[in-house]
C-alpha cells in the first residue's frame, strides 16, 4: 500500500498536493475509494481513503490511526565527511531505511569534493527527496532531517546537545579496538541521542580526531575490517537496530 508524508493535515483529513498528488494520480492511477497510508509532521500515521481528487489536490480521510512506532528508540545522527560521487546519496537512502534521525555532511580535511554554496539548495533538495522516498518505502513515520554541509567547528557546536558522541576511526579498528561501541550501546537509554562521525575517503586526520576528543567524543572501531566511507554508517545503524530492536 502506498505511503505518503503529508504536511497539510487538518483533523482527520490529509490534503496532498504537488509531486505527491502527481504521483498518486498519474503514476499510481489511484482512484476515489482507494486506500493509502498518510503520515503527519507529528510522526502519526493513518490508513486513509481517498475521497476527493482535483487538478490541484487529493483529499484523504482517516479510517484508522496506526498504533506503535517504527522509529528507532534512540535518535541517531550520521555525520559524514563529504565523499566523492553519489556515495552520500547511498548513505542517506540506506541510512534512512535503517532508522537514522538526521544526516550532517561536513567538509573534512581529506574531503576531495569542494562544497559549492551556489548549488547548495538544489543539492540538499535532492538529498531530502531521496530520504523521503526511502522513508516511505521503509514504512517510517518520520522524515529524517538533512543538514546543509557544515565545517568541523560547526559540527562540534551542533554536537553539544547529544547524550553520546562517537568517532568511527579506522586506526582504532586496525589496532583491534572493540569495546567502545558495545559499551556505548549498553549506556544508551530509550530517548537518548547518539552522534557518530565518519570520515571521507582517506579517513579523518589525527588532528581532527584529537579536536573531536577534546569536545567529549569517543573514538571507536567498527570490527576488524576496514569499511568504506559509505559502508561504515550503515554498519553502525545496523548495530543500533540489532541492539535495541532485535536483541531486546
Provide the residue ranges of all domains of the chain, joining segments of one domain with +.
3-65, 75-246
Which of 193, 175, 195 lies closest to 236, judged by CA? Answer: 195
Return all residues near 7 (Cβ < 8 A) that are at least 6 apart.
40, 41
Instruction: For domain 3-65, give its CATH number from 1.10.340.30, 2.40.240.20, 3.40.50.2020, 2.160.10.10.
Output: 2.40.240.20
pLDDT of the chain along its 248 residues, tens only? 899 999 888 889 999 999 999 999 999 999 999 999 999 988 899 999 999 999 999 999 999 999 888 899 999 999 999 999 999 999 999 999 999 999 999 999 999 888 878 778 899 999 999 999 999 999 999 999 999 999 999 999 999 999 999 999 877 666 666 689 999 999 999 999 999 999 999 999 999 999 999 999 999 989 888 899 999 999 999 999 999 998 86
Q: Taking the model in full, what pTM does it have? A: 0.91
Q: Which one-letter DSSP state was computed for residue 79?
A: E
**What pLDDT does residue 113 have?**
83
**What pLDDT does residue 177 have?**
67
CA distance 14 to 3: 12
Which of 58, 65, 56, 71 lies closest to 102, judged by CA? Answer: 71
CA distance 200 to 210: 17
**What pLDDT does residue 176 have?**
61
Which CATH number does 75-246 carry? 3.40.1280.10
**What pLDDT does residue 232 have?**
96
Amino acid at each position: 500500500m502506498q505511503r505518503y508524508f503529508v504536511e497539510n493535515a487538518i483533523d482527520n483529513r490529509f490534503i496532498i498536493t504537488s509531486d505527491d498528488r502527481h504521483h498518486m494520480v498519474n503514476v499510481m492511477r489511484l482512484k476515489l475509494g482507494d486506500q493509502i497510508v498518510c503520515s503527519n509532521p507529528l510522526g502519526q500515521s493513518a490508513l486513509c481513503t481517498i475521497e476527493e481528487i482535483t487538478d490541484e489536490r487529493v483529499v484523504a480521510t482517516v479510517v484508522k490511526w496506526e498504533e506503535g512506532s517504527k522509529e528507532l528508540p534512540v535518535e541517531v545522527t550520521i555525520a559524514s565527511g563529504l565523499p566523492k560521487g553519489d556515495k552520500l546519496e547511498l548513505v542517506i537512502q540506506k541510512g534512512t531505511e535503517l532508522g537514522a534521525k538526521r544526516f550532517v555532511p561536513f567538509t573534512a580535511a581529506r574531503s576531495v569534493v569542494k562544497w559549492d554554496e551556489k548549488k547548495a539548495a538544489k543539492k540538499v533538495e535532492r538529498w531530502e527527496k531521496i530520504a523521503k522516498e526511502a522513508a516511505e518505502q521503509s514504512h517510517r513515520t518520520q522524515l529524517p532531517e538533512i543538514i546543509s554541509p557544515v565545517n568541523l567547528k560547526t559540527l562540534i557546536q551542533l554536537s553539544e546537545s547529544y547524550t553520546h558522541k562517537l568517532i568511527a576511526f579506522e586506526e582504532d579498528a586496525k589496532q583491534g579496538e572493540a569495546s567502545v561501541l558495545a559499551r556505548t550501546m549498553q549506556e544508551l537509554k530509550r530517548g537518548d541521542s547518539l552522534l557518530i562521525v565518519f570520515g571521507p575517503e582517506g579517513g579523518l586526520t589525527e588532528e581532527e580526531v584529537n579536536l573531536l576528543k577534546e569536545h567529549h567524543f569517543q573514538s571507536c572501531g567498527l570490527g576488524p575490517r576496514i569499511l568504506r566511507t559509505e559502508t561504515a554508517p550503515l554498519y553502525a545503524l545496523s548495530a543500533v537496530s540489532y541492539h535495541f530492536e532485535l536483541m531486546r
